[in-house]
Structure 1
Amino acid sequence: MSKTQKGEKSDKIDNIVGMLMEYEKMTIDLMRKATDTPVLDQYDLNAPYAKARIVKEEGQTKYQIAEVQLGDDEKRKLKEIGELLIEELDVDIKKLGTNDNAAAYIRKLVEKIIKNYKIKVTPDSLDRLMYYIVRDFVHFDKIDPMMRDPWIEDISCNGYGIPIYIWHRKYESIPTNVIFQTAEELDKFILKLSYMSGRAISIAQPVLDATLPDGSRIQMTYEKEVTRRGSTFTIRKFRERPLTVSDLCIYNTLGAEMAAWFWYIIEKQASVVLVGGTASGKTTTLNTLAMFIKPNAKIVSIEDTSEIQLPHENWLSSVVRAGFGVTGEVSEITLFDLLKNAMRQRPEYIIVGEVRGAEAYTLMQAIATGHGGLATLHADSAEAAIHRLESEPMNIPRPLIPTIDVIAVQTRVQVGDKSVRRMVNVAEVVGLDPTTKDVLTNDVFKWNPKSDTFVFYGRSYVLENIMKRHGYKHEEVMEELNNRRMVIEWMVRNNVRDFKDVVEVIRTYYLNPQQLLDRVKREKMEPTAQGAPPKQ
């Protein structure tokens, strides 16, 4: 081995060992403090090694992670085993496939090291050591317990020496007891996250959007090139169980009547743009509405980072690729490139994760030629969405705006003392005023903040156009909407919320609607299941 290789390996060992040992600085004896600190909530995250504790400390709600404790002798052995593990590790952990495979490989290698180097460890002690070794080598290091918490939506680190903040579905934005103490420690962790995502971050390219192996979306910055407090990251966690229309109705994000309306117009290939601010739940609702697409329809989705989850077999998922080289232009594949390519594949539906640039014009052309379209856009109203589409860098000509059928606005609002998501407005783009050339819209549904209900305004131009195009009678369409509303209400009342179960209900409706409707009418309606999460 050359001196350079030895030096590089030594640096790598120092880095990994530093990360392995950092927990020693961070471990807090929460059990000792529990008698003085009111505990609002606590639950296991990775039993019996880690649990979450929500406490009230100095008037502030905080999220604390309590992990299994190590004695001084165990800490020394952890350092020794960590150094030897780096020396013995001869494969790229990512190439082992699943995390379970990687964890099994690491465990086997650690047992071999303990045997070969005659390290004396009791079974209980080895169990605790294995937890930290696997946590740091295979999983997400000190934030791993948070990544396992189903109540957490976002994890944000704003720099070193600052508590990591989370967005908790029950307690909203709260600080944690996890801190990256030094710039060096945080920088190393950022490099680890970029490695896990399969994308590169560096001083030359200090900003990165990527997807982690579990599907979570991450945005990172490196060192102090663009963020003064040092490296940062924000993780938008991936849901293992995608939300369904039943969930959104239970949460009252939208109503059953509204959901049935969306179901019908999406089946008929209407184009829908979901707009809202950051963390308003646009992508979640997009996923939910896309489940209404017919099971065998050809779908192409296009995204910056992979977030869309569909049950359809005939679905092609496309993700942009960053360029290589100093300018980043070599082999770069943009949303615009992917959308142009999608048009050659004869899709029935095109889904764009987020419209923000030149691809908007191609999407409008695709919709104008009869393709169904679903997309999200950052805006706080239908009017603001139209203004964004007409402005730089999208530059959509006004005559193309009416190719959009529906602009649905979703946002976070306060209902009592809770922050919740609501579909506050569903507006149709009717056309252009012949005199002023202003874009004309029609409100179909609006959220009533006083009653926390959704009001149907009585007329839908999209439905009228569907009737004209297909020769349907008004009574036929109203009956169809009512049937779908009954199916959705039946799922809600019978707690049919699992992704696969809801997909099967929708599939059954398309294949044999009368069979499902007979069941819905025959079965006794049960009360909505209690215990649904109080937050989205």
Structure 2
Amino acid sequence: MALKEKIKERHSSRETHVQIKSVSATVNVEENLCSEFCFPLIYRNEEYFALACSIYDAFVEKLNINGQLTERMIREVVVKHISEFTLPKPALKTEIADFVIDNLLNYGPISTIMRLAGQGLNDILVNTKDYIDVIYNGQTIATPFRFRNEEDLRRFINRMLMASNRKIDESHPIASAKLPDGSRIEIQIPPVSANLDSDGNPGSYVTVRKFREIPLLFETLIDSNMIDLKMAYFLIKAIRGKLNIVVSGGTSSGKTTFLNAITRFIDEGDQLLTIEDTKEMKPQMPCHSIRSFEARPPNEEGAGAITIENLLRTALRSSPRRIIVGECRGPEIVTMLNAMNTGHPGSMTTIHADDTKEAIVRIENMFLEARPTANMTFVRSQIISAVDLIIQIVRFPDGTRRIVKISEPEKRIEENGVVSMLDLFEFQRSVNSDNPMDSSGNFKAISGSSRATLKMMQNGVTMESRIFDNDFVVSKEMITNELKEFHPKRMCGWKENYMTEIIQASYISSKSILERWPNLK
């Protein structure tokens, strides 16, 4: 949006001026009040916040726009403008400059959070103008960030929706869209959002789902104990051996992140096709090996929608080797199972379920919703023949994510009518009565799999036969040998600064990720 348009829209909803006054330097503010990332002083102290708002209002009043101005030019003017005021703390100068820029050109405190939180940010949760929580590295954190009033919040909502050419109003109070950086936003305004803000008025809700720019490497999954070495070895072989995989888990459990990490082991000769409702996948493969599709919601008239099922049916005519559907939650499950059964080995998808057995039931229900007259015996036979592995991911209360189970659907039905499952690996959580949040425990091999091993062999991949023996130890050298030919820099969109960022974020006991994983050098 042109700068002139951005600033014009601000005048219609500006709050009444707060009188500019000198703030005492003796105000008690905890300078180091930081959680996972530091919150600006202006949001932690009411007087500082009022000062920032006053300076912003005064700047907008005197701003004269002639032609197109860049953010850099605006910042220079803002800094000069701030110098006209007496600030109680030098640190406030930069904070107030950012406050003015974010309110003038961006999305207010939402932009501030996205800039400060960096790669650890998962979600931003706006609950009326008064409360903004964040999910940071899997943990929910209350923040002091807030909006000045509901009008300001609505202004930023409209600005976010403009990027996707979407609108929201009382007659259409729910909207979904994407920000230019790929973040997904979900918005609800009154009358469907019913919480009252501190002014006694119904307030709006905003959820921003932030996706990592820098890829999470498979090595990091091991370092963070999401998986152990034995499970890691098996998963590498499973991907290379073209097993059809369903990744199951709850909301924000890390299903897509995990899926991205394991795409690294897909042979670049296998044409991969990804289909998603909102693009989140960043396969760790060369660009020439990937084709990505994204569903399109209906327009304001309710027409023009392109569903995942539409895309999946079209994609199957493009002769892909492997297919990944970001999430199956409807009739597309029928086409997905058919694809897994008919010439697309190594395909994958995710679903919402809390256990591998529940995942099977969820697939059955989706199939029957799409084909109500289908015979249950036929439905289960389709699932059994199509799905080789179900991987269950859990996010524990302390924010830790782990693969808690890898199961294989057996080719038989139990007496109670459900598909029999063979658990191959399991994470057994320890019971800590002193600390219920504790997510520590042990990974165990439970049963051997002849089905998975046979399919791997049919696709030219052999696996250590003792992998399911709990007395057998998978060495780190075994893993690094498997990873040597899959350096992450081959992935589409890889940037040179990624490895620097990964190294800086991954020190453990003073050792960098390159020291722990020499295959990354």
Please indicate, yes or no, whether the TM-score normalized by the shorter chain is above 0.5: yes
Does the residue aligned with 2:34 lie in a helix, a strand or coil?
A: strand
Contact 1:303-1:318 within 8 A present in 2 as well? yes
CA separation in 2, counterparts of 1:407 and 1:41? 39
- Which residue of structure 1 lines up, in the alignment, with residue 132 of structure 2? 164
CA separation in 2, counterparts of 1:284 and 1:28? 48
One-letter amino acid of the structure 1 residue matched with residue 10 of structure 2? I
From 173, 176, 181, the counterpart of 2:143: 176
1:168 Cα deviation after fit: 2.8
TM-score, structure 1 as length reference: 0.72
Q: How does 1:457-468 map onto structure 2 within 5 Å? A: 457-466=446-455
CA separation in 1, counterparts of 2:22 and 2:424? 54
- Which residue of structure 1 lines up, in the alignment, with residue 403 of structure 2? 423
TM-score, structure 2 as length reference: 0.74
CA separation in 1, counterparts of 2:124 and 2:134? 5
1:201 Cα deviation after fit: 3.1
Contact 1:211-1:218 within 8 A present in 2 as well? yes
Residue by residue, what CA displacement relative to the aligned partner does 1:429-482 show, whole Å, maximum 9, x if unpaired? 122339775312111110021262211124023433225625777768969x99
- Which residue of structure 1 lines up, in the alignment, with residue 198 of structure 2? none
Contact 1:74-1:125 within 8 A present in 2 as well? no
Contact 2:354-2:392 within 8 A present in 1 as well? yes
Residue by residue, what CA displacement relative to the aligned partner does 1:18-69 show, whole Å, maximum 9, x if unpaired? 67779979x998985555x58453798xxxxxx5369xxxxxxx98999999
- Which residue of structure 1 lines up, in the alignment, with residue 34 of structure 2? 41
Q: CA separation of 1:373/1:73 partners in 2, compared to 1, >3 Å: closer, same or farther? A: closer
1:276 Cα deviation after fit: 0.9
CA separation in 1, counterparts of 2:275 and 2:295? 8
Q: CA separation of 1:467/1:423 partners in 2, compared to 1, >3 Å: closer, same or farther? A: closer
The answer to whether 1:315 aligns with 2:290 is yes
The answer to whether 1:374 aligns with 2:354 is no
CA separation in 2, counterparts of 1:368 and 1:28? 72
Q: CA separation of 1:152/1:121 partners in 2, compared to 1, >3 Å: closer, same or farther? A: closer
One-letter amino acid of the structure 1 residue matched with residue 361 of structure 2? H
Q: CA separation of 1:505/1:334 partners in 2, compared to 1, >3 Å: closer, same or farther? A: closer
- Which residue of structure 1 lines up, in the alignment, with residue 228 of structure 2? 255
- Which residue of structure 2 lines up, in the alignment, with residue 293 of structure 1? 266
From 143, 149, 152, the counterpart of 2:121: 152
Residue by residue, what CA displacement relative to the aligned partner does 1:346-377 show, whole Å, maximum 9, x if unpaired? 11111111110111100000000131211111
- Which residue of structure 1 lines up, in the alignment, with residue 60 of structure 2? 79
Q: CA separation of 1:447/1:196 partners in 2, compared to 1, >3 Å: closer, same or farther? A: same
Does the residue aligned with 2:140 lie in a helix, a strand or coil?
A: strand
CA separation in 2, counterparts of 1:464 and 1:231? 52
- Which residue of structure 2 lines up, in the alignment, with residue 16 of structure 1? 10
- Which residue of structure 2 lines up, in the alignment, with residue 486 of structure 1? 477
- Which residue of structure 1 lines up, in the alignment, with residue 441 of structure 2? 452
Does the residue aligned with 2:327 lie in a helix, a strand or coil?
A: coil
- Which residue of structure 2 lines up, in the alignment, with residue 503 of structure 1? 488
Unaligned stretches of 5+ residues in structure 1 = 1-8, 45-50, 55-61, 91-103, 508-525
Unaligned stretches of 5+ residues in structure 2 = 86-92, 196-201, 431-439, 493-506, 514-521
1:486 Cα deviation after fit: 2.8
- Which residue of structure 2 lines up, in the alignment, with residue 274 of structure 1? 247
Q: What is the aligned-residue identity percentage? A: 26
One-letter amino acid of the structure 2 residue matched with residue 231 of structure 1? S
Give aligned pairs, total.
457
Aligned Cα root-mean-square deviation (Å): 4.5
- Which residue of structure 1 lines up, in the alignment, with residue 396 of structure 2? 413
1:106 Cα deviation after fit: 3.9
From 365, 374, 378, the counterpart of 1:391: 365
CA separation in 1, counterparts of 2:271 and 2:477? 28
- Which residue of structure 2 lines up, in the alignment, with residue 52 of structure 1? 39
- Which residue of structure 1 lines up, in the alignment, with residue 421 of structure 2? 441
1:211 Cα deviation after fit: 2.2
One-letter amino acid of the structure 1 residue matched with residue 380 of structure 2? R
Contact 2:239-2:266 within 8 A present in 1 as well? yes
Contact 2:187-2:207 within 8 A present in 1 as well? yes
Contact 2:283-2:491 within 8 A present in 1 as well? no
CA separation in 2, counterparts of 1:142 and 1:467? 50
CA separation in 1, counterparts of 2:182 and 2:46? 23
CA separation in 2, counterparts of 1:427 and 1:202? 46
Q: CA separation of 1:460/1:234 partners in 2, compared to 1, >3 Å: closer, same or farther? A: same
One-letter amino acid of the structure 2 residue matched with residue 448 of structure 1? Q
More strand by share: 1
Does the residue aligned with 1:175 lie in a helix, a strand or coil?
A: strand
- Which residue of structure 1 lines up, in the alignment, with residue 519 of structure 2? none
Q: CA separation of 1:453/1:199 partners in 2, compared to 1, >3 Å: closer, same or farther? A: farther
Does the residue aligned with 1:278 lie in a helix, a strand or coil?
A: coil
1:423 Cα deviation after fit: 0.7
Does the residue aligned with 1:274 lie in a helix, a strand or coil?
A: strand
